[in-house]
Structure 1
Amino acid sequence: MKKINVWLCVILLASACTKPDLSSPVSIPGPLITVPGIPQGSAITKTIGVSGGSLTSADGDFSVIIPAGALAGNQEISVQPVMNQLPAGYGRAYRLTPHTISFQKPVTIRFRYEENSIRNTAPELLGIAYQDQEGKWFHAAAPMLDKENRTLTVSSTHFSDWGFFPYFYIDPARVLTDPGAQLDLRVMATVPDNSGYIPLPGESPVLQPYQPDNSYFGAWNYSGNGSLEGKGNTAHYRAPDAAPKVNPESVSVAVKMQRKGQFLLVSNITIRTAFHIDYMQVDETELYTGGFNYPSRLWIYGSFGEDPGKGKRSVKINNTDVTVATWMPGMIACDIPTSGPYASGIVKVEAGAAAASKLLNEWVLDMYYDKVESPGGALTKKVNLVLRFRGDAEGFFQQGQVAMVKETNLHESSKGIINMPAGSYTNHVTMDACGDYTVKWDAIRDLVVSRKKYTEADGLSGSVVNKPNGFDLKIRLMAENVLMTHRKFVDCHSGSTNDDVPDAIQIQGFHEAIIPLRFSGNASIMAGAMPLKTGTGVAAGLYFDAPDYVPALFTTRLHWDEALPKYK
């Protein structure tokens, strides 16, 4: 494959350029290695044969085109959105399966991008990468860019996890800051600093982000009422003393490329207006000690000015006043009920003639835990988790804002519901002993496991962390002695034994694991699943001869349905 030289060069008015001066040493980081992305939506599956075909993700942002003759026969192909683990990666990554497939001709892989989502880089600086089985990310060939249709396209002879990301980008891409505040900006790179070529597939890994040589960058530009001092890969910005008429302001830096045109990396900086809500966070901890007494607390982050005093300011949810516990220029804390007509909804903050509103939304999510402990699944532990969340699906903490609550409990109405039919399984062994092992389980009907605080050991508990596009969840469930098991062994030659033993049901395999719950574009929590675990253990009282034990038959699965927001 022909190498395409893309050394970044000085842009002259006549569009001439020279190779950059690399005399200043740059510390090059190691390759990017990550765990596989967690699924963030349902897979789309289609059978494609020798005549070829195409498959597009449910959101329409990713597609694979398989030409005629690429497959020797009919093959089931799947595409599933997963969490993008690439540095500064845009949107979701996508998992193409099966990974073991072999193509007789290259297939086409195509991403669609939105202009507003890549403003911190340029379309010409976008790359596509794939992840190998060891978790390492590699550059695909230089993608073909179609700016009119906003697509990036490469060819491949294999399936994997795929994502697109910037070779160079400005950090931060978006900032919310106060009048007069100061901010440092920098340019980061993910490509090698010493080759001068777009990396070829299979031979150049994606790098951990680092600051490249200063000579790759031209002038920094800013036309607002504040000030900017920029050189090379860094700049220092001072915001104007009052919110400007054009808000957000733009700071840009020119990237020098060996091709005609000017390519800008842009950071959008929004100056806080006099009165504004940025983000809201709910603390579900229910504190009743140490002088605190509230069912739950709403933290509102933004710009509100000094506290004008009681009677001159208010916070309302669905037009009902709630108690203001703390009022500071950048943050307000309110005591709110855990349920009822003003536990969520439109939050309105008022002080004098100033007012700002934002939606505090609510979701009820069904999550399912299934642990198969016998071949065929007759003995399967099942728990339905009904989880309630409250939060802000639009926006996130801005630079300089500090979350008052790093994590919180599950909402108090969350619960686990155990519904399991009676089951039985018998297995014959000959190696260590000769006989039949039989385990029977009694049915469990609508057993509710109540939510407890995260500090308590039994019941259902969990911690919730606000993320830019959803929640990170950790859960644990322990229900002692709720499953009655009957264990019997019949010896081949003489006698039998019987034991009736109560057993526990708990979340195993995913205990304390981070479960990513992510918002879709319509503020729903998207359906998803944790990676399936195999070889997770057999029912207590069952035994197998070593050659007969098949780990793939014993699985533990955790998945969840889409949760629609209470308020559209």
Structure 2
Amino acid sequence: MTKIKRWISFFLIPLAFACTKTGSLSPTPGTSPLVTAAGAPAGTAVTKTIGVNGGAITSTDGNISITIPAGALADNQEITIQPVVNKLPAAYGNAYRLTPHEIKFLKPVTIRFRYNEDSIKNTVPELLGIAYQDQTGKWFNAAEAALDKEHRTLSVSATHFSDWGFFPYFYIDPSEALVDPGAQLDLRVMATVPEDYGDIPQPDGSPLMQPYQPGSEYFGAWNYVGGGSLEGQGNKAHYQAPNAVPTINPEAVSVAVKMKRKGQFLLVSNITIRTEFHIDYMQVDETEVHAGGLDYPSRLWIYGSFGEDPGKSKRAVKINNVAVIVAFWTPGVIACDIPTLGPSSSGMVEVLSGKTSAQKLLNEWLVDMYYNKVESPGGALTKKVNLVLRFRGDAEGFFKQGQVPMVDETNLNKNCAGIINMSAGSYTSHTTMDGCGDYTVTWDAIHELRVDRKKNTEAGGLSGSVVNKPGGFDIKIRFIAEDVLMSHRKFVDCHSGGSNNHVPEAIEIQGFHETIIPLRFSQSDAKASIKAGEMPLQTGTGVASGLYFDVTDYVPANFTTRLYWGEARPKYE
């Protein structure tokens, strides 16, 4: 299938235009500073030790780097970059947690972000700023960012660490849209600077604003050349698509932003008119239903433009050339009942209506995820679970403007499972204070114990939820296997006596229940892999039941919980 990439163009037109500066930085009524929760980890962290001679560190995705000059540090220091979910307006890629937060550099360091056309598709580079978040959740403008358009970077000097990201001062919403012929769409321009904003960039430490629609005086004319119509004034416009697919598709709508400095800036939104027959995106609901008159193992939702249902005799949906059941057909969405396993559970999807057809690849991935919980020094007592997780989905594209997901979240695929493989282990601790004596815990081995997937509504076993996201899946995992680990607990008193108990224990995934685990594709491509990743290591996560330590002997770093996964290649490469 030919892959078409839609580009959104941005234009900077220098004009002899100037406005008088205003010194006020206070937000007007109706605007308020931006305060958000801290972003959850969204990728693999990187750590490097840098000393007095300086050095540099770059994130694993290459989108942020830190350059530390000689003399900025008085001693060796571990520097970490952790990608996190971006809570800034427009959410350009990830934000980044730079640690340690409490560090104060003796000289300014350089923080450099890399951007590309896709990541700033609703503004222009000249309207980008860099921001950081404090411990209360408030976002602040950093110092003036240096823009390098040739290398597509934004750089700023700083003497402290926190959570950092880049954002637009003004942006158009939506930046792109996919609509049917004759459809209508409202557009607006949003701002993150105070209404009476003075210069851009804002001074270092000034608050970032909640996105709002600024006054109409900051905008020039709206412009559109196409077969439809546009009514625009100030910060908003109303677009009506042509009744037929235009020759130039997508169509461009633009508005001029009047800056309080020389120049005029055009924000551009590209609006694509749906072709007569096309698949945009596919989503699998892995929740089997056998009630209420419905009976299917899983359901495939196909989003696109298909026209009215021509009738059963004139339409079909096939996966790997095998016809599947069409539950219903609408111009924008088709639902099909598909098996959870077998040749027609994933593969090339073909939608046919009369002599018209469209194809798209529904791929499949098998992710090996590993849980290790160390409950004794040295790791002799370590609970281990291998989660074998199967996912089906569309790695190329996502929902378009105006498309509403039919499923917000789904269960794990029915063929997911947890496998417990643990060697026998033993550890003895000695206490001299309360309960003086030797405490020995011995675990029996567990070999190839399979724990099957259950629905979220069912107790025990492996369960969880999956949410389709741009570029991958967000998942949540719950796992508990009751009474599968035989634990032998022996106590020998310092003076006399003791006890010897044999207790069955549960094995469960602790520390990550209801935590979002981000699985991300290697690229936007039908045959992309799911990238390897790891959740932040947890320390001090608990001692094996039956072991005791004097306070002076307890070292939290000896007790860790780790959750990580390897790269998953697609079934169809």
Identify whether the pair has TM-score above 0.5, normalized to the shorter chain: yes
> 1:426 & 1:134 partners in 2: Cα distance?
44
Taking the TM superposition and a 5 Å limit, the aligned residue runs for 1:42-53 are: 43=46, 45-53=47-55
Q: Which residue of 2 aligns with 1:39?
A: 42
Give the 3 Å change call, closer, same or farther, for CA 24–518 of structure 1 in structure 2. Answer: closer
> 1:331 & 1:12 partners in 2: Cα distance?
45
**Which blocks of at least 5 consecutive residues in structure 2 are unaligned?**
1-12
Contact 1:54 1:64 in 2 (8 A): yes
Q: TM-score, normalised by structure 1?
A: 0.91
The answer to whether structure 1 residue 539 and structure 2 residue 544 are counterparts is: yes
Q: Which residue of 1 aligns with 2:202?
A: 199
Q: Which residue of 2 aligns with 1:165?
A: 167
Q: TM-score, normalised by structure 2?
A: 0.91
Give the 3 Å change call, closer, same or farther, for CA 24–388 of structure 1 in structure 2. Answer: closer
| Letter matched to residue 451 of structure 1 | R
Could you say what secondary structure the match of 1:510 adopts? coil
Contact 1:26 1:212 in 2 (8 A): no
Q: Which residue of 2 aligns with 1:464?
A: 466
For residues 185-228 of structure 1, what are the alpha-carbon distances to aligned partners after superposition, in whole Å with 9 as ceiling and x for unaligned?
A: 12122223345243333x32333322222222222111122222
Give the 3 Å change call, closer, same or farther, for CA 12–417 of structure 1 in structure 2. Answer: closer
Q: Which residue of 1 aligns with 2:71?
A: 69
The answer to whether structure 1 residue 146 and structure 2 residue 148 are counterparts is: yes
* Identical pairs, percent: 72
Taking the TM superposition and a 5 Å limit, the aligned residue runs for 1:119-138 are: 119-138=121-140
The answer to whether structure 1 residue 287 and structure 2 residue 292 are counterparts is: no
Q: Which residue of 2 aligns with 1:412?
A: 414
- Residue 482 of structure 1, CA deviation: 0.4
Count the aligned residue pairs: 556
For residues 314-346 of structure 1, what are the alpha-carbon distances to aligned partners after superposition, in whole Å with 9 as ceiling and x for unaligned?
A: 212222222222111111111222122232122
Taking the TM superposition and a 5 Å limit, the aligned residue runs for 1:142-291 are: 142-197=144-199, 198-201=201-204, 203-291=205-293
Give the 3 Å change call, closer, same or farther, for CA 13–552 of structure 1 in structure 2. Answer: closer
Q: Which residue of 1 aligns with 2:572?
A: 567
| Letter matched to residue 27 of structure 1 | G
Q: Select which of 85, 89, 95 maps to 1:87.
A: 89
> 2:40 & 2:288 partners in 1: Cα distance?
34
Q: Which residue of 1 aligns with 2:320?
A: 318
> 1:449 & 1:228 partners in 2: Cα distance?
58
Deviates more, 1:311-320 or 1:550-559: 550-559
- Residue 479 of structure 1, CA deviation: 0.5
The answer to whether structure 1 residue 555 and structure 2 residue 560 are counterparts is: yes
> 2:194 & 2:137 partners in 1: Cα distance?
19
> 1:276 & 1:193 partners in 2: Cα distance?
43
Could you say what secondary structure the match of 1:204 adopts? coil
Give the 3 Å change call, closer, same or farther, for CA 173–408 of structure 1 in structure 2. Answer: same
> 2:433 & 2:56 partners in 1: Cα distance?
52
Give the 3 Å change call, closer, same or farther, for CA 20–105 of structure 1 in structure 2. Answer: closer
For residues 433-464 of structure 1, what are the alpha-carbon distances to aligned partners after superposition, in whole Å with 9 as ceiling and x for unaligned?
A: 22222211111122111112222112111111
Taking the TM superposition and a 5 Å limit, the aligned residue runs for 1:434-473 are: 434-473=436-475
> 2:49 & 2:497 partners in 1: Cα distance?
54
| Letter matched to residue 231 of structure 2 | E
The answer to whether structure 1 residue 364 and structure 2 residue 369 are counterparts is: no
Q: Which residue of 2 aligns with 1:6?
A: none
Could you say what secondary structure the match of 1:157 adopts? strand
| Letter matched to residue 527 of structure 1 | A
Q: Which residue of 2 aligns with 1:28?
A: 31
> 1:309 & 1:213 partners in 2: Cα distance?
51
Contact 1:89 1:166 in 2 (8 A): no
Deviates more, 1:384-393 or 1:536-545: 536-545
Give the 3 Å change call, closer, same or farther, for CA 76–35 of structure 1 in structure 2. Answer: closer
RMSD (CA atoms): 2.5
Could you say what secondary structure the match of 1:497 adopts? strand
- Residue 263 of structure 1, CA deviation: 0.8
Contact 2:42 2:94 in 1 (8 A): no
| Letter matched to residue 557 of structure 1 | R
> 2:538 & 2:51 partners in 1: Cα distance?
31
For residues 499-557 of structure 1, what are the alpha-carbon distances to aligned partners after superposition, in whole Å with 9 as ceiling and x for unaligned?
A: 00000011222212222222231532222233333333222122334454444443322
Give the 3 Å change call, closer, same or farther, for CA 463–136 of structure 1 in structure 2. Answer: same
> 2:571 & 2:44 partners in 1: Cα distance?
20
Q: Select which of 498, 507, 520 maps to 2:509.
A: 507
Contact 2:297 2:337 in 1 (8 A): yes
> 1:278 & 1:416 partners in 2: Cα distance?
34
Q: Which residue of 2 aligns with 1:3?
A: none
Q: Select which of 341, 363, 381 maps to 1:339.
A: 341
Could you say what secondary structure the match of 2:326 adopts? strand
| Letter matched to residue 234 of structure 2 | G
Deviates more, 1:98-107 or 1:23-32: 23-32
For residues 239-263 of structure 1, what are the alpha-carbon distances to aligned partners after superposition, in whole Å with 9 as ceiling and x for unaligned?
A: 1112211111111111111333321
Q: Which residue of 1 aligns with 2:18?
A: 16
Contact 1:39 1:528 in 2 (8 A): no
Deviates more, 1:261-270 or 1:207-216: 207-216
> 1:157 & 1:567 partners in 2: Cα distance?
48
Could you say what secondary structure the match of 2:378 adopts? helix
Give the 3 Å change call, closer, same or farther, for CA 361–90 of structure 1 in structure 2. Answer: same
**Which blocks of at least 5 consecutive residues in structure 1 are unaligned?**
1-10
Give the 3 Å change call, closer, same or farther, for CA 562–82 of structure 1 in structure 2. Answer: farther
| Letter matched to residue 555 of structure 1 | T
> 1:317 & 1:470 partners in 2: Cα distance?
22
